Structure 1
Amino acid sequence: MIPFEYHRATSVQDAVTAVADRPDAVFLAGGTNLVDHMKLGVVEPSLVVDVGHLQLTDVERLPDGTLHIGADVRNSELAAHPIVRSQYPVLARALLSAASGQLRNLATTAGNLLQRTRCVYFQDVTTPCNKRTPGSGCSAIGGYTRYHAILGASEHCIAVHPSDMAVGMAALDASVVYVDADGEHRLSLSDFYRLPGDQPDRDTTLPNGALITAVEIPPPPEGARSTYRKVRDRASYAFAVTSVAAELVIDGDTIGSARIALGGVAHKPWRATEAEQALVGQSATGETFRAAADAELAQAEPQQGNEFKVELTKRAIVATLNTLAEGRQR
């Protein structure tokens, strides 16, 4: 048993103050990821600050149409919310494709965003891992790579981000709201996550000691259709081999706007900007969709053992876009 201090925060400001100057402190909400890692010895915090009861649980429309989602909203509640189901189906489907019902009942919005990789080497403290112990090496390179990155990796880390929800939010241009000692701030999800580079132990750009209080999503474009497709090794309770979150606006046969994010292929939810640019202004056809997928995956650098993910991801993109073009998903 590794001893640690426990503090039950009384407010957001109390939580932020409690972790000030404590780089080894962690926040606890649902605990579905943190508690597992504490048991495995992946993390050994000296202070655990409980923020799971701070009533950051509202899901509401703001006056400008933005959807405000509290940090402690449970995944199951968010997936079932009428606004999410009707106007952001890509997010509802991403949430429902993740984990089990029991875990979704406990997991929180902020915790889902901050969950760590499920790389087997990261979770095995007997193996070298730059994400867990900087400078120790990457056991995945040259090892078991089926679930590892084909985009944006580095010589220091090829792990992928495990969240389905974050991929859906990336396609919706979501922003993260957080509080630190200097007050409240907003950060786009695309800037919130980072690629491994030479610091793979840092998953996000969130300042030390900052507490996420909400996620905000702009209103969908008029006429938008969106959905989420997850390819996995078994029908449930499995992380994505690859996944696609997509939103299209189609006027007649012409694509007016496109937003696509990929999961299971990079250190962060991968915004497919090359594919988006290849789609806008083009006819909504299978040929267009394949050309867009080819453009996005042209930059792929697979490892020995996961080369198949390049073609698999292309096909997943095409299948997802075909579904939206045919109007089978709102």
Structure 2
Amino acid sequence: MWLQILFRAATATVPFLAFLACSTSVQAQKLSDTEVNNVAQHVTVIIAEGLQEGDVEAQNEFNPGSGFIVAKLGNTYFAATNLHVALRPDAIYGIRTYDGKVHFSTNGKASSNLSKKGITSFPIIYFGEAGEDGKIKGFDLAVVGFQSDRDYPVAKVNLVDFNKNDRTFVFGWPDPGDRTPRRTCRFSPGNLQEILNPPNPNGGYGLLYSSETYIGMSGGPVFNDRGEIIGIHGRGKEPTVPFNQGIKARDLKSEAEKYKLQVFQSSIDPSSLAAIAPPPAACLIPNIYQDFTRDFKSAALGDKPSGGDGNILIPD
């Protein structure tokens, strides 16, 4: 219910979130696989619930997903992921960026001007609803905000220029399956197999591709061969669907517009990111449990969090 109030409070004249739009009419240059991988490592994040210090049981239930930065407003960033990655609106989520920093989205509070409009908090924005039958009504999409003074690149999205048999690249952080604290990224080349119009009503999946994916890569970006994002990965193969599945980036944009959210175009060109070698932290995590652990009790008393930044403050 609070989410409905939040969305109704946002107007076209006073937007509180800016989303990424499409590429320009001038087609970007094609990149090598290595260059697309460089782009992917810079914009992809890991999203997971924060861990309490000393809570071993929470580590056993720890199921991180992937995501990518889609917007920046002031020093507040917004990362897209799947709804099923961030199901609990009251949870504290950590967002790990390519430099190895983890930023916690705890106890988000809106600025005074937004509070006057009825927007009092910002944990997560959902674009679908999970049912008790396991199906998702609407889109299996969510956006999680975090605050940082660091300069992170915003992904460039292509909303219209893709076709069957185009090259695709899915990037994310697969679960190794043995609960090891060490994690490595995965870059999966493939081809676009089908474009569904309309998309599957269960989650809004409309892109089918041969890129191999694994648990933990949900929410990660699907790139074309120009380093532009065309979709959000979120579902593997099924008995009736022989390919991995993603949601079109254009659907993320159209859903944002339904809520009167301002759309803008990224100023970051993929070719610029492609030429920059990412740091080792962008593809290797020595201990993911340590990265996402925060002493929440101490933080509540005003101590600095152990794993990242503090509260989200939504700008005017």
Greater relative contact order structure (CA < 8 Å, 6+ sep)? 2
Counting helix residues as a fraction of each chain, which structure ranks higher? 1
**TM-score > 0.5, shorter chain as reference:** no
What is the TM-score of this pair, normalised by structure 1? 0.26
TM-score normalised according to structure 2 size: 0.27
Structure having the higher Rg: 1
Q: Which has the higher strand share?
A: 2
